[in-house]
Structure 1
Amino acid sequence: MAHYTGDPTRNNQDIRNKFNDGVNLSLYEHYWESPDTLLKADIASKLEAVHNAGFTSIRLPVGYDLFLQPHSYIVRPELIDRLKEAWAVCSRLHLSLVITYHYGKLTNDNDLEEREKIITIWKQVQNAFQGISYDSLVFNLYNEPTLNRDSWKRDVTYIAKALRKQDPSRYYIVGGTNYNSIDELRELGNINVENILYEFHFYEPFLFTHQGADWTDGKTNITNLPYPYKRKEMPQVSNEAKKPSADDYERYPDEANRQFVRDRLKDIVKYCKKHRMPVICTEAGVITAAPEQYRNNYLQDITTILYELAVPTILWDYDQKFSVLNGQGKPLNGVLNWLKPG
């Protein structure tokens, strides 16, 4: 699929286009594995596979807190080496790279102290890449914050400005609170820092994209949901199973369709354009517990709509619980059509 030309008056359009046709590569945020095991993983072969599948950009989540030296904010040098290796492979393969701070510990109660840790960690990473590839390597400052909106806007502005003093040229990605929701991106607004891309994550309707997930407190215990909505294909559920998701279930006929998805996305894109906020979708996807046919339908709609709206997109994820691959290990047709030049 051809990259967007976009508004030629925007001097950041070229860099936004570098982060289209992308996928998240889940590895270094795996808190359920030992850091030493993660550091030994063969990331080069994973990057090769992503490239061979047709993707042109990678978002690499990193659980930095897993890789700190004891009782300090010092990042283990082995992790810095692995990130350098990842970038070297991406550069060789002409893949653009987003490095993301994942699973941080920022809360409303500890934010003044925790943000200093975030800055200290990023400065070490930023120093390692000083002067390198400003057009195709960006830093996603903090994934899915959950602070109240006033605290988050204050903190993310503070973090971005502190890092900008060390490196005036690196692009940073920031988003709204409530897990980078599109509604909270509107509330965040433009933070008035140079070289910022604004992100959102999109998993609507949540009942469909997270069906069967075991980490959502029962909100997604209904499975085999069709997308788009078809009354005759809706699963029968007991009253007990329906209760945690009753409201979502009742709204499902109105939300599980292309028009609803497009309207939701069009609204935030319109807002960002008005407020001069270059926008990118850094996560969108559907859990593999959903039937493959419906996964394919959803991803086809998401990629097509975001392309039509000129929003560079990085899907979640390559080969984990939200894998964009089919049962044969190839990209689903909806994704493959998006990746093909046209």
Structure 2
Amino acid sequence: MRRGLAAPLLAALMAAAHPIGAAAQPAGETAPATTPGAACAARFQVPADRLARLARGYNLTGWIDVRDEREPDAELLQALRRAGMTHVRLPVPAEDLMPAFATAERTAARLRAIAAVLDRMIALDTAVVLDLHPGGDLARLYAEAPDAALGEILAAWDRLIPLVAARPAGLVFPELLNEPPTTPERWDGDARRIAAHLRAALPDHTLVIGPAGPQRVEPLMGRPPVEDANTVQAIHFYDPMAFTHQGATWMGDDPHAALAEVPFPAAPGDPALRQALAGMRLIGRPDAADLLARSYEAPWDAARIAAVFRDVSVWSARTGLPVVVGEFGVLRFAAPPADRAAWIRAVREAAEAACIGWTHWEFRDGFGLVDPRTGAPEPAVMDALGMK
């Protein structure tokens, strides 16, 4: 949900009673990692060590998913690993790997960059969710010619498969497609075809699969999952968007862009919420005030977030499929900093209590855990994420 709506796994967590285990030592240093509790791991056929890898992570944006690549500082990546981050989710520009949209030279350059990043992160003992991340071109093709869009997705994976196959199955997790830009009904069939295609070439790798659209919780639990036990189901969580996306400048005249100082937690009638509503009306944005009022018709607090994740945990236990929050975060532009940290903490704690791993959105831009002004992780965000 980063940009305009926007993204794993699970397990980890051990309930508070479970001790944190020691991980491998990247670059000669100890890197703590969370290990799945026995009750969590026993639910699933995905190996427990892989679920532990997918327990805590962040979306490594702004490196190979932009034209002007910004390589992260090596010491920063290592420090995040030592702090307890066990994986990254690496958005890969899908169209750069698709014959309909990219030259052979562009695709070759992109593949070299992806291979280099994979090796860099593996050397740091950090797992990678390889996220095929589409843009507007694929969305338009899906609307006009869905069979052709599926063909381009399969072609992109044919280019990525050799990179994945050459690296440890426990450290690279192919994610079929970020926020699939098609209908749930269409994606039901396409996801099965893509998963089968990948499984034939990658028999041991754990696949990451999300529902269509913005990967909300509701379609995950409302559609039949892909019948492959070695998969992780990925959801994105940004509720309420009036809080997490306040000040979203890229959204133009959308009322979310006008919102500011929206609180969390909050309930109807709270002074801070009334003040935010009054502010929207004062600047002539009744549409933003109406959006905010609708969003907070019932309280938004840690208890409500925990209830959502308990429902997901029940679904996960029933289906035997682990779940990861592939994206969650709060835009820093207009949210009160303490409230931003409180929301991040609430989601992280709710996910962990439900045997669900998480991947913070994102690295160092608007939603980032790294402050772009200083180049260092924000202490309040790291604390909210339970990181040292």
1:76-107 superposed Cα distances (whole Å, 9 cap, x missing partner)? 22222221211211112111111101124142
2:320 alignment partner, one of 253, 267, 276? 276
2:173 alignment partner, one of 120, 138, 149? 138
Contact persistence 2:96–2:107 (CA under 8 A): no
Letter in 2 for 1:190: P
**Match for residue 44 of structure 2?**
10
Q: Pick closer, same or farther for the CA change 1:283–1:310 going to 2, 3 Å.
A: same
Contact persistence 1:29–1:102 (CA under 8 A): no
Q: Determine helix, strand or coil for the equivalent of 2:111.
A: helix
Q: Pick closer, same or farther for the CA change 1:260–1:70 going to 2, 3 Å.
A: closer
1:184, distance to aligned residue in structure 2 (A): 1.0
Contact persistence 1:254–1:260 (CA under 8 A): no
1:194, distance to aligned residue in structure 2 (A): 4.4
1:44, distance to aligned residue in structure 2 (A): 6.3
Percentage of matched positions with identical amino acids: 18
Q: Pick closer, same or farther for the CA change 1:245–1:29 going to 2, 3 Å.
A: farther
2:276 corresponds to 1:233: no
Q: RCO higher in 1 or 2 (8 Å CA, sep ≥ 6)?
A: 2
2:243 alignment partner, one of 204, 208, 214? 208
2:338 corresponds to 1:293: yes
**Match for residue 165 of structure 1?**
200
Normalised to the residue count of structure 2, the TM-score between the two structures is: 0.79
- Equivalent residue runs for 1:23-102 within 5 Å: 23-28=58-63, 30=65, 34=67, 37-38=68-69, 41-43=70-72, 45=74, 47-48=77-78, 50-51=80-81, 54-66=84-96, 74=104, 76-102=107-133
Normalised to the residue count of structure 1, the TM-score between the two structures is: 0.88
- Equivalent residue runs for 1:322-341 within 5 Å: 322-325=367-370, 329-336=376-383, 338-340=385-387
1:334, distance to aligned residue in structure 2 (A): 4.9
Give the superposed CA RMSD.
2.5
Question: How far, CA to CA, are the matches of 2:287 and 2:119 in structure 1?
Answer: 50
1:33-87 superposed Cα distances (whole Å, 9 cap, x missing partner)? 53xx33xx43563634643554221001011313557866856222222212112
Letter in 1 for 2:50: I
Q: Pick closer, same or farther for the CA change 1:78–1:53 going to 2, 3 Å.
A: farther
Question: How far, CA to CA, are the matches of 2:124 and 2:80 in structure 1?
Answer: 10
**Match for residue 219 of structure 1?**
255
Question: How far, CA to CA, are the matches of 1:44 and 1:118 in structure 2?
Answer: 32
* Unmatched tracts of structure 1, length 5 or more: none
1:4, distance to aligned residue in structure 2 (A): 2.3
Contact persistence 2:43–2:317 (CA under 8 A): no
1:216-254 superposed Cα distances (whole Å, 9 cap, x missing partner)? 451312211111116112212217413256254234162
1:143, distance to aligned residue in structure 2 (A): 0.4
**Match for residue 190 of structure 2?**
155
1:118-168 superposed Cα distances (whole Å, 9 cap, x missing partner)? 111112111123142101210111001232211111111111112222221
Question: How far, CA to CA, are the matches of 1:111 and 1:124 in structure 2?
Answer: 20
Question: How far, CA to CA, are the matches of 1:183 and 1:9 in structure 2?
Answer: 21
Question: How far, CA to CA, are the matches of 1:322 and 1:86 in structure 2?
Answer: 22
1:189, distance to aligned residue in structure 2 (A): 2.8
**Structure 1, 229-238 or 172-181: larger mean CA deviation:** 229-238
Contact persistence 2:259–2:288 (CA under 8 A): no
2:350 corresponds to 1:305: yes
Alignment length (residue pairs): 335
**Structure 1, 202-211 or 304-313: larger mean CA deviation:** 304-313
* Unmatched tracts of structure 2, length 5 or more: 1-19, 21-33
**Match for residue 114 of structure 1?**
149
Letter in 2 for 1:149: P
Q: Pick closer, same or farther for the CA change 1:229–1:72 going to 2, 3 Å.
A: closer
Q: Pick closer, same or farther for the CA change 1:310–1:331 going to 2, 3 Å.
A: farther
Question: How far, CA to CA, are the matches of 2:71 and 2:63 in structure 1?
Answer: 11
